[in-house]
Amino acid sequence: MRLLKPYLHITIALLLGLCLLSCQPQRQPNVLEQVAESGVLKVGTQYGLTTYYTGPNGPEGFEYELVKGFADYLGVRLEVYPFFNLNQAFTQVQKQQVQLLAAGLSVTPQRAEAFKFGPPYQYVSQKLIFKQGAERPRGPEDLTGEMIVVAGSNHTDTLRRLQQQFPQLSWQATNEMDNEELMEAVLREEYDYTIADSNILAIMRRRHPELSIGFTLQEPQRVAWAMSKNQDDSLLAAMLDYFSTLYEDGRLAALEDKYFGHVRQFNYVDTRLFIQAAEQTLPTYQPLFMQYADSIDWRLLAAMSYQESHWNPRARSPTGVRGLMMLTLPTAKDLGVTSRLDPKQSIEGGARYLQGLVERIPERIEYPDRLWFALAAYNVGMGHLEDARILTERQGGNPDIWVDVKSRLPLLRQKRFYKTTRYGYARGDEAVTYVANIRRYYDTLVWLDEQQRLGEQPTGETIGH
């Protein structure tokens, strides 16, 4: 027993040391480490045209693509939690049930006090919306009818601030309808006014051109992701790195262009005439577009035809192109089209020509940019498109994304640029307008087609994703 006593003291000392170590608080993993360990990024959002929705090929939306890219950047799986109202979404952020909220959120002073925000990736302004034909309000003092807005939105913050200057200002706030539904309610004359952010309004006016702007309530505000203020900054730091790469490689500009680049400009008369033509003239030619579209969406082909000829089979331009798809005589001969005025031959030939252009675009260029390049080539020629892509690369842009190339196409009208190209002068600015118009018409056709499909659903059938 005596021999054991020295070792007994050592053992006791070791046990006391271990006890002291175990009593010390262990460092908790930060949020980024928690995300990495779980392999999941939990993101809250809202359903909407500019945020998140389920399309024919799965989840879509500007916000969805942004956060999916962030999850991929972190090397984890994305879990999206769509909330039906903003108050509920913000509550879940505060409780840290989701790591961030990506819902097209404007950074208002009130929100900045309660939440932490990431880097801005967009700017939007708030517009007062009324129905075309009603008396236009030009300021808060003219708001004499009923106004409704989304509860918990940045619009309610703006109205509360304005109410201090205009005490008579009143409104209703609802969680039962989203911003898109409220604009449609104004069109049905259930309410006189609502407020919409400029980005979603730009998309909605392609569907409902009667949505008119009274005045701007709030100048452009930053749009960013929200996080809990109790959350450490590790995820924010990763977010800053992520957006930095998006800015540098042009992906953010390309994504913004994909969803909003073609709807910035709005023409009421043109939109109304197009919807009218889609309802009255398109049914005559729709079976042909569907028959010959092949791998191209027939609605895109129809939109292109409207841009070319306004669906007039006898259309003719001063340069001699003719028919629904406005084929040149040499192109028609190459395609075996014997009569450019025959709708069937014109659509079949135009579809084959466009498909051939799509196939000639370098394989590394992804959709939808691949389509926009092909449409531009249909208008200005593949040679001039390649010249614009070379100019883009010379100027440090990305020749494989449409948003960069479309800013260089107009340079083909300027001698100091086109004299350095292989194919010389071209009306490249017209090609940019051409593609933007087709994209707008296409968006409207997709919506009209969806509305028709919904209307054809048997009574009692549930329509879901």
Cis peptide before 368 (omega within 30 of 0): yes
| pLDDT tens digits, one per residue of 121-173 | 999 999 999 999 999 999 999 999 999 999 988 899 899 999 999 999 999 99
- CA distances in angstroms from 9 to 3, 6, 20, 442, listed in the order given: 12, 5, 17, 84
Mean model confidence pLDDT for the chain: 89
CB 346 within 8 Å of CB 329: no
pLDDT at 3: 38
Q: Amino acid identity of 243?
A: F
pLDDT at 26: 66
pLDDT at 351: 97
User: In Å, how far from its chain's centre is CA 420?
Assistant: 35
Domains 31-117+226-259 and 122-222 share a fold: yes
pLDDT at 456: 58
Tell whether the model's pLDDT for residue 263 goes beyond 50: yes
Q: How far apart are CA 436 and CA 79, in angstroms?
A: 33
Q: What is the DSSP letter of 440?
A: H
CB 400 within 8 Å of CB 385: no
The structure tokens listed for 450 are: 């969806």
pLDDT at 206: 87
Tell whether the model's pLDDT for residue 19 goes beyond 70: no
The structure tokens listed for 288 are: 């042909």
CATH fit for domain 31-117+226-259, picks 3.40.50.300, 3.30.470.10, 3.40.190.10, 3.40.50.720:
3.40.190.10
Q: What is the DSSP letter of 259?
A: I
pLDDT at 21: 47
The DSSP bridge partners found for residue 276 are: none
Tell whether the model's pLDDT for residue 217 goes beyond 70: yes
Tell whether the model's pLDDT for residue 5 goes beyond 90: no
Architecture of domain 122-222: 3-Layer(aba) Sandwich (3.40)
- CA distances in angstroms from 408 to 365, 390, 411, listed in the order given: 17, 9, 5
Going by pLDDT thresholds of 50, 70 and 90, the confidence category of residue 12 is very low
pLDDT at 2: 37
| pLDDT tens digits, one per residue of 366-409 | 999 999 999 999 999 999 999 999 999 999 999 999 999 999 99
The structure tokens listed for 392 are: 């883009």
- CA distances in angstroms from 118 to 157, 306, 435, listed in the order given: 20, 42, 33
CB 149 within 8 Å of CB 183: no
| pLDDT tens digits, one per residue of 306-362 | 999 999 999 998 778 999 999 999 999 999 999 999 999 999 999 999 999 999 999
The set of catalytic residues is 308
* Rg, Å, the chain Cα set: 28
Going by pLDDT thresholds of 50, 70 and 90, the confidence category of residue 22 is low
Tell whether the model's pLDDT for residue 286 goes beyond 80: yes
Q: How far apart are CA 19 and CA 13, in angstroms?
A: 10
For residue 197, which of 239, 241, 158 has the smallest C-alpha distance?
158
Q: How far apart are CA 340 and CA 329, in angstroms?
A: 8
pLDDT at 219: 84
Q: What is the DSSP letter of 228?
A: E
Count of Cβ atoms closer than 10 Å to residue 456 Cβ? 7
pLDDT at 8: 40
Count of Cβ atoms closer than 10 Å to residue 462 Cβ? 5
More confident residue, 281 or 453: 281
Domain ranges in the chain are: 31-117+226-259, 122-222, 268-450
CB 179 within 8 Å of CB 48: yes
The structure tokens listed for 8 are: 């007994």
For residue 271, which of 227, 205, 332 has the smallest C-alpha distance?
205
Going by pLDDT thresholds of 50, 70 and 90, the confidence category of residue 261 is confident
User: Does residue 242 sit in helix, strand or coil?
Assistant: helix
Q: How far apart are CA 192 and CA 281, in angstroms?
A: 33
Dihedral, CA atoms, 85, 86, 87, 88, nearest 10 degrees? 60
Domain covering 268-450 in this structure, CATH number: 1.10.530.10
Q: What is the mean pLDDT of residues 99-105?
A: 95
Query: What is 310-369 written as a DSSP string?
Result: TT-TT-B-TTS-BTTTTB-HHHHHHHT-S-TT-HHHHHHHHHHHHHHHHHHS-TTSPTTH
Q: Which residues contact 171 (CB under 8 A, 6 or more apart)?
A: 147, 148, 149, 156, 159
Entry field: residues in the chain: 465
User: In Å, how far from its chain's centre is CA 304?
Assistant: 21
The structure tokens listed for 57 are: 């090929």
Buried b (16+ CB within 10 A) or exposed e, 261-282: bbbeeeeeeebeebbeebeeeb
| pLDDT tens digits, one per residue of 40-96 | 999 999 988 889 988 777 898 999 999 999 999 999 999 999 998 888 899 999 999
Q: How far apart are CA 164 and CA 325, in angstroms?
A: 57
User: Does residue 81 sit in helix, strand or coil?
Assistant: strand
